[in-house]
A and B are shown apart, each in its own frame.
Chain A
Amino acid sequence: QKEVEQNSGPLSVPEGAIASLNCTYSDRGSQSFFWYRQYSGKSPELIMSIYSNGDKEDGRFTAQLNKASQYVSLLIRDSQPSDSATYLCALNAGNNRKLIWGLGTSLAVNP
């Protein structure tokens, strides 16, 4: 079982819809969770971090964490074509000094 699993996609949503990206992980000791966005040919960019169970909202983005079920999700409301990118889930198991990365989900927002 991979440590961090994401559906590779592509996930295709119409402009204005809600895009839902999911990530499951295997290490119950994981404490910190991150969503990065990577445009094609560019470097990853941190968009959300979440550390405790529940929802965290930042503008059109909402991160949801459920440690009991070992998943973390990212919701993008009012999706825009500029949101089309690969979204990478990453986590830190506390004592580790490096992140564990998923392979990413490709999102396409269609005008």
Chain B
Amino acid sequence: NAGVMQNPRHLVRRRGQEARLRCSPMKGHSHVYWYRQLPEEGLKFMVYLQKENIIDESGMPKERFSAEFPKEGPSILRIQQVVRGDSAAYFCASSPRQDGAGELFFGEGSRLTVL
């Protein structure tokens, strides 16, 4: 039973390029959360999605960031026109049920470096 799969594990982009991070939740999980973590800092909630719906995007910057979780395929976190401050680890987590927001299963993360 595969866990939460994220790719790429490492991504290097130059300023102004686009970064696209993918997350496949655990089998049977329809709730996906994206978090950002800077070195020596805590986890910052970004967005909570269910299939085809954004439920809570209160942690997403208003510009350049978007997320989707289509009916088929992985969840995508997209960062347009990246800047150096976007360099961070981006974690995806999934949960089997809506009220299971505390019992999250995390992927290994995607580490974005912006040059």
Q: Interface on A for B, CB 8 Å cutoff?
A: 32-34, 42-46, 49, 88, 90-92, 96-99, 101-104
Contacts and interface: CB of A to CB of B under 8 A. Distances in A.
Given A44-B43, A99-B101, 20 more contacts: A43-B107, A43-B108, A46-B105, A49-B102, A49-B103, A88-B43, A91-B102, A92-B101, A96-B101, A97-B48, A97-B101, A98-B45, A98-B48, A98-B56, A98-B59, A99-B102, A99-B104, A101-B42, A101-B45, A104-B42
Interface in B16-73: 33, 41-43, 45, 48, 55-56, 59
Q: Which 9 pairs show the lowest CB-CB distances between chains A and B?
A: A43-B106, A103-B42, A92-B102, A34-B102, A32-B102, A101-B43, A98-B45, A44-B106, A43-B109
A33 B101 CA distance: 11
Interface of B: 33, 41-43, 45, 48, 55-56, 59, 91, 98, 101-109
Contacts, number: 50
Contact of A103 (B41, B48, B101): B41
Contacts of B33: 98
A45 B105 CA distance: 7
Contacts of B101: 92, 96-99
